[in-house]
Structure 1
Amino acid sequence: MLTQTRNFQVKAVSSDKDREIFLDVPHIVYKNDANWVPPFRSSIAKQLASENAFRQHGELQQFIALSETGKPLGRIVAAINHRLIESEGKTIGIFGYFECIEDFEVAQALLEAACQWLREHNMESVRGPIDLSTHNRCLFQVDRFDLPPMIMTPYNPSYYPEFIEKAGWEKGNDAYIYNFPLDKPLDPKFEKAYRIACKSGITFRPLRTKGEEFEQDCQNMYNLMSKAFAKNYSYIYRTQEEFMAQARELQQMADPDVFPIAEHNGEMIGFWMGLPDYNIVLKHLNGKFDWWGMIKFLWYRRQIDQGVVPVIVSLPEYRRKMVPLALIYLGMQGGIKKGKPYKRAELGWVWETNSPSRKLIEASGGKIYKTYRMYEKAL
């Protein structure tokens, strides 16, 4: 498949050289962006490799845009995730890994190449950006481009939303990230909620980060999240193997003091996932983790002074026992514990339609300060 437009072309990735060009694109797009944090090149390559677990339940095609002289201008992946189709009961494709120079014609051609591939595979609509799964990078940031992203949060140039909307795509759903300053005390009702939860038989402990205990905690988290998030917008089921692979990547980053777990009769029923913002470190590694990268990692991690909370989860039947409020209390207390460097935290992203979670977060002092958007289009 080849699309020729003006003085550039969009072509399907079909060789090792093409795959290297695909991985090069972000470094061209963001070369003058001080806020960008390069992802690990090897991690992106692994996600798209033929042996990746995604291929057991999905198909994909990578595309790149090249100038007449062969200079990379952009990239995109069209994909079919059969788990999403099964979950929603409709033939919906996805696009992801989108990166593009500030040229609308290039962006439009890349998006159309992805859409055409999905049409040829009998998809009736498309959603994105989703890098194969919502458990990977997804969503376009639509405001606050003056702020650097924290770890596990999306980031993109400000012109991406403008380009995709100009190309005729519509909003599917918005999501928010909340800012938590740690210099303001929580409402006393959160500590009260913690004491009520304890009296009702709920126990709390930190995440275990070593050996078999870590593996067991992660397996329990997988089971809990699979129950709690199954009905979320655009939720895509993943296997325990896929979940554990991501968990092991984050294992060395975990801080047990900001990762409380709630249990009842020995069963995990909720947790607050707090992580130090390792993007402060990763932006200095340029997507590589060689011996020099290790030295940089050890040096720059001393500068981490903020954290991110990607997930707060509790089984619905334990909300009346104040478990979500208790987890917020413990997570925040861990963040301000003596000797901890955290000055603030980000929480989310949270879908705009998730009213229960939003009310809880806002009651604890969180303020919306970044917005992200999922887009959709009929094919």
Structure 2
Amino acid sequence: MASVASGVTIRPVVTKADRKAFVNLPFRLYAEDPAWVPPLKDEAMGLITPGKNPFFEHAKAQLFLAERGGEVVGRISASIDYAWTPMPADKGGGADSGNWGYLDAEDQETARLLIARAEDWLRGEGVKRALGPISMSIWEEPGLLIKGHDQPPTVMMGHDDRRYEAWVEAAGYAKVKDLHTWELDITRPFPPLIERIVKSGEKNPRIRIRKVDKSKFNEEAAIILAILNDAWSDNWGFVPFTESEIAFAGKKMKPIIFNDLVNVAELDGEPVAFMMTWPNLNELQADLNGELFPFGFIKLLWRLNGGFSGKPQVNTMRVPLMGVLKKLQASRLASQLAFMMIEYIRRDAVAHYGSTRSEIGWILEDNQGMNSIAEAIDSRINKTYRIYEKAL
């Protein structure tokens, strides 16, 4: 049933044409925002389409469009992730919790109506606590950008109109968790203390830091996933990947996986930590306007291959994932391994990819270990994404 107020109609997304309108809306709303980076439309369509995104194998969702005078003026998603709900409430879950995301709107009244409609759908599914924005998996684009609107997002990070913060809070939502990204000038050596820690680790015969072998992609992915699932298992909002999601993410991320940008740390021959770094794909696709065809694909492939060099030349690297097995997390060794991996990848990023800066994160605001590591290497918080909650 449609909701009508102030000339705005809210209706569910039903057809492929509706999904296309859902994807296309930000291209109009953010057309004059110099920091916004157009997503690849085919990829964006895949993320919201059941049967393509394996998220829907353990979740249900409904998308909504807002229209005024026949023109789309807003969008939102409402979803329930049944891999999320078993988590304790203090970890973000709960059997009666649900999420909304993909919020975009021309004005506050449209945003209010969209959020209200998402809440109505969630209530109808038995939800009593809404969290958002989460678009739609915690692994996709969680949180509303509340700091850093002047900087373009890095690959797989979101960008929002700065007005949305006030609109969401006016709808009765309060902060539940902040996620930070940290910016780092990687052309400068690390502080002397960190350099000494790295050199000390290099003298320890028990430690080996190795690059991954992309020709053994599945084997290396399994090692990294095992560390990730252990290292992140107590984190707020952590939802383990399913096998289908691993395959989906692997296919999507494989073009930006490079051997020298992913490290595995071994202790006495056992893989105990990893660090993954991606070239900022957004720099390479920003001028494609979301279109891969007819020529966008050729341009992107050429840039990913760095012309004939085989390595893309990008200003920014993103560190999306890093983890150390729980049994080591309270030890000095954990930070030593982290510093060693960061330093090795820093050197290669500068030497082989022409990079000058890195963005680390997102990192939960209360992840003291990772935030301390970021501070120790002279990083600074450049963006904050906020997840809100509201009792329904």
Asked if Structure 1 and Structure 2 have the same fold, meaning a TM-score greater than 0.5 normalized by the shorter chain, the answer is yes
Point out the more displaced range, 143-152 or 114-123: 143-152
Q: 1:227 is matched with which residue? A: 230
Of stretches 234-243 and 316-325 in structure 1, the one that deviates more from structure 2 is 316-325
Write the deviation string for residues 288-315 of structure 1: whole angstroms up to 9, x where unpaired: 2224012322555555222111122111
1:77/1:114 contact within 8 Å kept: yes
**Structure 2 Cα separation of the partners of residues 369 and 335 of structure 1:** 20
CA deviation profile, 1:54-91 (whole Å, cap 9, x unmatched): 232211111000112x1010111100111111112341
Q: Does 2:60 match 1:59?
A: yes
5 Å-filtered alignment, 1:226-245, equals: 226-245=229-248
User: Which AA in structure 1 matches 2:178?
Assistant: D
Unaligned runs of 5+ in 1: none
Distance in 1 of aligned mates of 2:238 and 2:74 = 28
For residues 134 and 359 of structure 1, the distance between their equivalents in structure 2, rounded to whole angstroms, comes to 23
Residue type of the alignment partner of 2:355: Y
* SS of equivalent residue, structure 2 residue 235: coil
SS across alignment from 1:308: strand
Residue 329, structure 1, aligned to residue 319, structure 2: no
Look up the match of 1:149. 153
User: Counterparts of 2:360 and 2:366 in 1: how far apart (Å)?
Assistant: 16
Give the match for residue 94 of structure 1: 99
Letter in 2 for 1:236: V
The residue type equivalent to 2:322 in the other structure is: I
Give the one of 146, 164, 170 matched to 1:166. Answer: 170
For the pair 1:23 / 2:35, whether they are aligned, the reply is: no
| Counterpart-to-counterpart distance in 2, 1:200 and 1:132 | 44
Instruction: Tell me the secondary structure at the aligned position of residue 84 of structure 2.
Output: helix
Counterpart amino acid of 1:209? K
Structure 1: how far apart are the matches of 2:46 and 2:156?
A: 17
Q: What's the TM-score, normalizing by structure 1?
A: 0.93
What amino acid maps onto 1:261 in structure 2? V
**Are 1:131 and 1:138, in contact at CA under 8 Å, matched by a contact in 2?**
yes
Does structure 2 conserve the Cα–Cα contact (< 8 Å) formed by 1:190 and 1:328?
no
8 Å contact from structure 1 (residues 193, 323) kept in 2? no
- Alignment-derived partner of residue 128 in structure 1: 132
Unaligned runs of 5+ residues in structure 2 are: 89-93, 307-312
Indicate if the aligned counterparts of 1:219 and 1:240 stay in contact, CA closer than 8 A: no
Q: CA RMSD in A?
A: 1.8
Shift of 1:122: 0.6
Question: Following superposition of structure 1 onto structure 2, how do residues 201-280 of structure 1 map, counting pairs within 5 Å?
Answer: 201-210=206-215, 213-280=216-283
3-state DSSP class of the match of 1:204?
Answer: strand
Q: Alignment partner of 1:236: what SS?
A: coil
How much has 1:209 moved relative to structure 2?
A: 1.9
CA drift at 1:132: 2.3
Shift of 1:325: 2.1
Shift of 1:40: 2.0
Residue 322 of structure 2, aligned match among 302, 312, 318: 312
Contact persistence 1:284–1:296 (CA under 8 A): no
Letter in 1 for 2:141: R
How far did 1:194 drift?
3.4
Structure 2 partner of 1:354: 367
Distance 1:317 1:169, change over 3 A: same
Cα distance between partner residues in 1 of 2:266 and 2:195: 18
**TM-score, length of structure 2 as denominator length:** 0.90
Cα displacement (A) at 1:335 = 2.4
- Structure 1 runs (4+) deviating above 6 angstroms are none
Distance 2:50 2:244 in 1: 17
Contact 1:260 1:272 in 2 (8 A): yes
Confirm whether residue 283 of structure 1 aligns to residue 297 of structure 2.
no
* Shift, 1:340, TM fit: 3.5
After superposition, the Cα gap between the structure-2 partners of 1:39 and 1:25, relative to the gap in structure 1 and judged at 3 Å, is: same
CA distance in 2, matches of 1:66, 1:228: 44
Deviation digits for residues 12-58 of structure 1 (CA, Å, limit 9, x no counterpart): 11223322222221112112122211222222222222324223221
Percent sequence identity over aligned pairs = 27
Residue identity opposite 1:320 in structure 2: R
Spell out, residue by residue over 1:202-237, the C-alpha distance to the aligned partner (whole angstroms, 9 max, x if none).
211112222xx1111111111111111111112222
d(CA) in 2 for partners of 1:221, 1:19 = 34
Question: Secondary structure, in 3 states, of the residue corresponding to 1:84?
Answer: coil
Match of 2:117 in 1: 113
Aligned residue identity for 1:46: G
- State whether residues 227 and 274 of structure 2, in contact with CA within 8 Å, keep that contact through their aligned partners in structure 1: no
